[in-house]
Structure 1
Amino acid sequence: MSAHSVSIRDEEIRLGQFLKLANLVDTGGLVKELIAEGAVRVNGQLCTQRGKVLRDGDVASVVDTATGSVLGSARVAAGDSGGTPDSEDDLGEYFDEATANDGFDPEKWRNM
């Protein structure tokens, strides 16, 4: 099974966050369980640190501990904001057009 590339906004990301971003797990609690069971590999090596820092090119995998087969894996692709090249905002892939006009006022929240 080949790893699919997952773009991150910065140059590095923590393992637990990356596993969720890459849709290899649903929750942080599940990340903790999988790491405790020895089911998480980084670049083919067993990883026991949820906070391990991943950088561009690192591959994180979830494996079946009974068989050793890879259930899913993803490669870190750093420095891509996910936005369009001519975009001047900092919203990138997090902009949701469906809720863009929902009355949310960032200044109100920023000043609380």
Structure 2
Amino acid sequence: METIIYIKEEFITLGQFLKHANIIQSGGMARPYLETYPIFVDGELENRRGKKLYSGTIVEIPEEGKFIVQTALDNEPEI
């Protein structure tokens, strides 16, 4: 299942993404989560919470699903 995560800014960091996608409860949980679970950004294993995700980026988290980052239009929900 693919979930679209809408952003209004040019990019969102991986740490912010995890929080806004409701994977983690707070930004402080990003580093431990990334150290524990594999996350793939556009097919590459990624563990940097500051990694910038732009519109069109695909994030895959085993056990959580596949997410697509997309720029929000005026009538769409935003982060």
TM above 0.5, yes or no, is yes
**Larger relative contact order (C-alpha < 8 A, sep ≥ 6)?**
2
List alignment gaps of at least 5 residues for structure 1: 64-69, 86-91, 95-112
List alignment gaps of at least 5 residues for structure 2: none
Distance 1:84 1:23, change over 3 A: same
Identity %: 30
Return the index of the structure with the highest Cα Rg.
1
Partner of 1:58: 57
**Offset, 1:17:** 0.4
Q: Aligned residues, how many?
A: 79
SS, match of residue 50 in structure 1: coil
Q: Residue type matched to 1:75 in 2?
A: I
| Distance (Å, rounded) in 1 between the aligned partners of 2:65 and 2:23 | 6
**Offset, 1:50:** 0.4
TM-score (norm 2): 0.77
RMSD: 2.4
Structure 1 stretches of 4+ moved >3 Å: none
Q: Which has the higher strand share?
A: 2
TM-score (norm 1): 0.58
Q: Deviations over 1:46-93 (max 9, x none)?
A: 102100000111112322xxxxxx423311002x25x549xxxxxx76
